Amino acid sequence: MAEKLTHPERYTITAALPYTNGPIHIGHLAGVYVPADIYARYLRLNGNDVAFVCGSDEHGVAISMKAKKEGITPKEVIDKYDGIIRKSFEDFGVTFDNYSRTSREIHHKTASDFFIKLYEQGDFIEETTAQLYDEEAKQFLADRFVVGTCPKCGHEEAYGDQCENCGSTLNATDLINPKSTISGSVPTTKETKHWFLPLDRYEDFLKEWILEGHKSDWKPNVYGQCKSWIDDGLKPRAVTRDLDWGIPVPVKGGEGKVLYVWFDAPIGYISSTKEWAEREGKDWEPYWKDENTKLVHFIGKDNIVFHCIIFPAILKAHGDYILPENVPANEFLNLEGNKLSTSKNWAVWLHEYLEEFPDMQDVLRYTLTANAPETKDNDFTWKDFQARNNNELVAILGNFINRVIVLTNKYYEGVVPAPCEFSEVDKETLEQLQKYPEIISSSIERYRFREAGQELMNLARLGNKYLADEEPWKVIKQDEERVKTIMFVALQIASALSVLSEPFLPFTSEKLKNILAVGSGEAKTSWKEVSTKEILLPANHKINKAELLFRKIEDSEIQAQLDKLEATKKANENANKELMPQKDTINFDDFTKLDMRVGTIVEAEKMPKAKKLLVLKVDTGLDTRTIVSGIAESFTAEEIVGKKVTVLINLAPRALRGVESEGMILMTENTDGKLVFVNPDEEGVGNGEGIS
């Protein structure tokens, strides 16, 4: 069964609520927010009634963890990151109709009312269960305060609610060798009472709704994960937690407990819609309760279970709400071959990107769409980013527009020429042009945004081919009337691109519309009109001067980003490196017994039949002596001759493989495990100088 609503009266589009425990990076943008924004913009261009809602997810353990780590209150954490996240979305042109916060009163009331209704209907079961407890911190451990080994894949850093390695949803008590992230101690178990949603009651409903009803239209990765969960048998899921940050459980016996964040967060879509409707003077209920509304959730794959099984079960239990028509979840985006990681700073942060690539939001939007992880995990690389910009945006789209605008200004002082007789090529080109809205629509409506973006680029390719074949710069010398028709056709393609590019490249679309001097707001051309109007840009209309839509990205800019990531990698390696523990304390007299001098290696050769040893002649300033050093795996004999070194010269001589060694060279290791000389760096330090 395909989606049942082919012509809905309205659309409710939700994008996963980002946790306010850190800024937004490219993985979030690629996985959720760019595809959701493309979809919402496209629907608006078609004249649809759209409510596109989101908001900051400000409850749950992630916030508490951040607050504890930074030594501040949860309120200070959410206020800080809500501002950063909100600005990132605005900067990248994500057109939410409403972006709310789950800490607001309207959300607390909406979530509490939901809980109370299900509670009064008898939809919950109360259970006293053994939960993990941190004796040192004197508190129960919510899911994210526990790490351990995943029982399904063996990953040793799985959280208590989910393994980020294999994607399995877990309970904290499932973990092998659990450990508290608060104190580092091994938790005990302690009994506590909670309310559970008995998901097993909804198995038949979910089988019919998902496994039968959405087998043909939901993405395989979404359907497959749902099927796996349902086939394994659903179990009751707690909807409350022992925490001091969140929405208090609003019934008797709920003191000291809050609503589980995965109960309250999806309800945030509803409260955000209420907030928007109140501001706009609308009725919110049709957007969530009318069967002629199409509800679509945009999420990442780690949220599939919550949006396809748990939240629908909550909505079904309530009884008044519609269910999602589709949940087009994306897989994960990696960065330069490694998993994106907030804690390890392995990310491209949106606010930093705009500092380094100002006014180039569309380049990132385009690259993330072209390489979106729609069906499998994909990799963002800076080289691909550069290639997408230089070889596609600059060389295809930008090149076509620039040629059209420059020639129109050159030949006709910016006035659209009246066409003469259309050739067969002209007619075929205009016919092809009119097919593109439907071609791109088909891809967008099947949530194939990568495909849709490439079809947009194919329209620019059509324009480039048309100009290259018709060669107006040559024809102008023999047939000026023919060139008027050529430029008229090319300008129609440019006008179409200004409309069809808007969902994908909103800033570029606006820039192009300004160059073409075409209307915006209510006066602008709609999506459908690109197919139906015979003339998009009429004769005698005056356009503006050319300006480049995109600039070329230089190799040096990309290298700077790669260097930045390499520095991050090194910093992570240093942070994870196990340092040698401090040795026993010595007194000052012990230290003064060490005679360390500056020396220079004057000769070096490999010790026969020894893998690690080099035999060195070192000028210590006092003498030239032999020192045997185990550095042959890090250095060749040839490369260290002439090297200044620090030498311990009063070490008792020791015979190594028949060679008497009279001292020791001071060394350390870098993050790669390679030996490094501990050297005097200052100029003018001579051999024999003492080190104290």
DSSP string of 599-646, one letter each residue: EEEEEEEEPTT-SS-EEEEEE-SS-EEEEEES-TTT--HHHHTT-EEE
d(CA 588, CA 685): 25
Is 198's pLDDT higher than 80? yes
Confidence band of 342 (pLDDT split at 50, 70, 90): confident
Q: Residue 677's pLDDT is what?
A: 84
Encoding tokens for residue 477? Answer: 């010398």
Cite the beta strand spans of 292-343 per DSSP E.
Answer: 293-298, 333-335, 338-339
d(CA 442, CA 434): 14
Span 90-107, mean pLDDT? 97
d(CA 264, CA 273): 15
Chain mean position to CA 575: 24
CB 246 within 8 A of CB 67: no
Q: Which residue has the tokens 């979809």?
A: 39
Which of 349, 337, 382 lies closest to 363 in space, CA to CA?
Answer: 382
Residue type, 312: P
Mean pLDDT of the chain: 92
CB 645 within 8 A of CB 666: yes
Which of 19, 185, 178, 32 lies closest to 103 in space, CA to CA?
Answer: 19
Higher pLDDT, 140 or 416: 416
What three-state secondary structure class fits 238?
strand
- Range name among 335-344, 426-435, 673-682 with the lowest pLDDT average: 673-682
Is 434's pLDDT higher than 50? yes
Q: Residue 163's pLDDT is what?
A: 85
Residue type, 262: W
Q: Which of 366-380, 507-521, 634-648: highest mean pLDDT?
A: 366-380
Is 576's pLDDT higher than 70? no
Span 5-32, mean pLDDT? 93
Q: What is the pLDDT of residues 39-50, one digit of tens each?
A: 999 999 999 999
Q: What is the pLDDT of residues 113-139, one digit of tens each?
A: 999 999 999 999 999 988 888 888 777
Span 381-410, mean pLDDT? 98
Q: Residue 1's pLDDT is what?
A: 42
Confidence band of 311 (pLDDT split at 50, 70, 90): very high
Which of 98, 179, 182, 101 lies closest to 139 in space, CA to CA?
Answer: 182
10 Å CB burial of residue 314 (0-12, 13-18, 19+) is: buried
Is 61's pLDDT higher than 50? yes
Residue type, 576: N
Q: Which of 3-12, 384-393, 516-525: highest mean pLDDT?
A: 384-393
Give 16's DSSP letter.
P
Span 23-32, mean pLDDT? 95
pTM of full prediction above 0.75? yes
Chain mean position to CA 3: 28
d(CA 380, CA 138): 43
Span 616-640, mean pLDDT? 90
Q: Residue 66's pLDDT is what?
A: 81
Confidence band of 477 (pLDDT split at 50, 70, 90): very high
Is 255's pLDDT higher than 70? yes
CB 235 within 8 A of CB 200: yes
Which of 209, 380, 374, 228 lies closest to 300 in space, CA to CA?
Answer: 374
